């Protein structure tokens, strides 16, 4: 992407941009004589009753367009990227980084590491703040950017430098103080690495965070993911560590009389205890990081069970494909489903591609699915969309290892397949059952 390139990817029909003749493929060169760095600055510039735009058309001609509109009307343009001057790349070499644990030969996009506060604000991606400059601080304050998602891991400066392998990581406490001063809200993430930031270090980190509770909206503690491609040897989170971590988090919340710190689902699964009630998770701020997904799924199943048919017309077998970590949960559902003529099968996929220690659905690849269902009698296969590559808000019909969705059914032409869009909700499976 060229510097400050604002490529129009789509124009909303009957919008202001549509009416003035802006088309897909045009490039916006300036807005009110300025070249915005990103969609944030662009949104700020168009909040005016008079907006002057310079457009480079697809035929390379230049047009100047003057627009009169209501102050807060959007122009109706969709851009190819939310940042126009290029994504800020990650400068760290974190000991826990999963991108560095991938094999060669995957899509190039899977090896890209961003550390851009703008994407953190717009898309909820995590940032470490090691590449933030004074000009960034000024823009965050100017545009009242909030909330941001920050990969914290520890407040111990020396340990954070060690874990990120970046000397600038030690500035974290001063950065938190600055966020407090400008009242920027934060969602914090702690990747728990046994032997590094667990036990007393975790307790110390949470103790340090008490002074910032006015700006912290949530703290998610997630376990280190260890693939078979990791060069360094790491101790894994086991049942004992999981129980200790859950206890430490509970004690912290009790001490501040506020429920802001939460353990991810995997800690409860490893500890062999029930996931907490909905109240524990608050507004489920970090659900895409595996924090509260099991609770939502279980609550959804309870409601769906009451709406489920007692009998379907024709004998049918539904096969739910999931990660090993969720297999036990779905088998618990299976035991409660009493629908005549329905066979409800659950298959947990062993992750050979990344290693057996990786047991989340989002890292299951097509190759492992093909191996798992080979020679099995499957009539109707159900898989969660998180197994597929994401493209913006949509999912492509291809897995991380470039195996296409239709390749899964190619050896069994009679097999139906359904992709669940909402992986935290049983409603889609209920709809499939009730439609049989």
Q: Identify whether the C-beta of residue 128 lies closer than 8 Å to the C-beta of residue 117.
A: no
Cβ neighbour number for residue 367 with a 10 Å cutoff: 16
Q: Which two tokens stand for residue 422?
A: 């909402």
Q: Which helix (H) or strand (E) covers residue 172, if one does?
A: helix 172-182
Mean pLDDT of the chain: 92
Q: Identify whether the C-beta of residue 190 lies closer than 8 Å to the C-beta of residue 153.
A: yes
Q: Which two tokens stand for residue 48?
A: 């005016």
Q: Which two tokens stand for residue 36?
A: 């915005």
Q: Which residues does residue 319 pair with via DSSP β-bridges, in sequence order?
A: 345, 381
Q: Identify whether the C-beta of residue 263 lies closer than 8 Å to the C-beta of residue 191.
A: no
Q: Which helix (H) or strand (E) covers residue 150, if one does?
A: strand 148-151
Q: Which helix (H) or strand (E) covers residue 327, if one does?
A: helix 324-336
Q: Identify whether the C-beta of residue 41 lies closer than 8 Å to the C-beta of residue 92.
A: no
Contacts of 332 (CB under 8 A, 6+ apart): none
Give the tens place of pLDDT for each residue, 222-250. 999 888 888 777 888 999 999 999 999 99
Q: Identify whether the C-beta of residue 126 lies closer than 8 Å to the C-beta of residue 189.
A: yes
Closest listed residue to residue 189, CA positions, set 128, 231, 140, 147: 128
Distances (CA, A) of 285 to 120, 189, 282, 363: 13, 11, 8, 21
Closest listed residue to residue 160, CA positions, set 147, 150, 149, 148: 150
The Cα–Cα gap between 421 and 383 comes to 9
> What is the pLDDT tens value at each position of the chain, 436 positions in all?
455 689 999 999 999 999 999 999 999 999 999 999 999 999 999 999 999 999 999 899 999 999 999 999 999 999 999 999 999 999 999 988 888 888 877 777 777 789 999 999 999 999 999 999 999 999 999 999 999 999 999 999 999 999 999 999 999 999 999 999 999 999 999 999 999 999 999 999 999 999 999 999 999 999 998 888 887 778 889 999 999 999 999 999 999 999 999 999 999 999 999 999 999 999 999 998 889 999 999 999 999 999 999 999 999 999 999 999 899 999 999 999 999 999 999 999 999 999 988 888 888 999 999 999 998 889 999 999 999 877 666 778 889 888 998 888 777 778 899 999 888 899 999 999 999 9
Helix %, strand %, coil % of the chain (to 5): 35, 25, 40
Q: What are phi and psi of 84, to 5 degrees?
A: -100, -15
């Amino acid at each position: 992407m060229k510097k400050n390139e604002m490529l129009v990817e789509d124009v909303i029909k009957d919008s202001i941009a549509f009416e003035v003749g802006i088309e897909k493929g045009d490039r916006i060169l300036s807005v009110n004589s300025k070249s915005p760095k990103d969609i944030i600055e662009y949104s700020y510039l168009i909040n005016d009753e008079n907006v002057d735009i310079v457009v480079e058309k697809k035929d390379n001609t230049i047009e100047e367009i003057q627009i009169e509109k209501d102050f807060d009307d959007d122009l109706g343009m969709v851009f190819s990227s939310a940042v126009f001057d290029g994504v800020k790349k990650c400068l760290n070499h974190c000991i826990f980084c999963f991108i560095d644990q991938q094999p060669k030969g995957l899509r190039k996009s899977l090896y890209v590491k961003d550390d851009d506060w703008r994407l953190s604000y717009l898309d909820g991606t995590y940032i470490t703040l090691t590449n933030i400059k004074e000009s960034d601080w000024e823009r965050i304050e100017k545009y009242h950017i909030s909330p941001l998602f920050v990969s914290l891991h520890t407040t111990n400066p020396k340990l954070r430098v060690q874990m990120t392998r970046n000397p600038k990581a030690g500035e974290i406490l001063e950065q938190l103080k600055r966020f407090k001063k400008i009242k920027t809200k934060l969602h914090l993430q702690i990747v728990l690495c046994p032997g590094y930031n667990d036990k007393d270090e975790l307790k110390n980190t949470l103790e340090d965070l008490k002074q910032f509770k006015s700006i912290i909206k949530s703290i998610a503690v997630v376990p280190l993911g260890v693939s078979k491609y990791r060069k360094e040897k790491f101790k894994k989170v086991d049942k004992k560590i999981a129980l200790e971590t859950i206890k430490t988090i509970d004690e912290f919340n009790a001490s501040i009389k506020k429920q802001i710190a939460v353990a991810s689902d995997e800690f409860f699964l490893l500890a062999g205890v029930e996931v907490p009630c909905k109240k524990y998770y608050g507004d489920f701020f970090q659900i895409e990081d595996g924090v509260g997904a099991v609770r939502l799924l279980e609550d959804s199943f309870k409601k769906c069970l009451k709406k489920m048919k007692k009998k379907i017309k024709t004998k049918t077998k539904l096969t739910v494909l999931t990660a090993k970590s969720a297999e036990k949960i779905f088998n618990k559902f299976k035991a409660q489903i009493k629908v005549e003529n329905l066979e409800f099968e659950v298959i947990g996929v062993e992750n050979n591609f990344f290693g057996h220690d990786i047991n989340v659905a989002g890292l299951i690849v097509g190759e492992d699915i093909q191996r798992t269902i080979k020679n099995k009698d499957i009539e109707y296969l159900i898989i969660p969309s998180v197994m597929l590559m994401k493209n913006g808000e949509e999912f492509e019909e291809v897995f991380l290892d470039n195996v296409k969705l239709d390749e899964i059914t190619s050896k069994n032409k009679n097999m139906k397949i359904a992709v669940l869009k909402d992986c935290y909700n049983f409603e889609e499976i209920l709809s499939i059952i009730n439609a049989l």
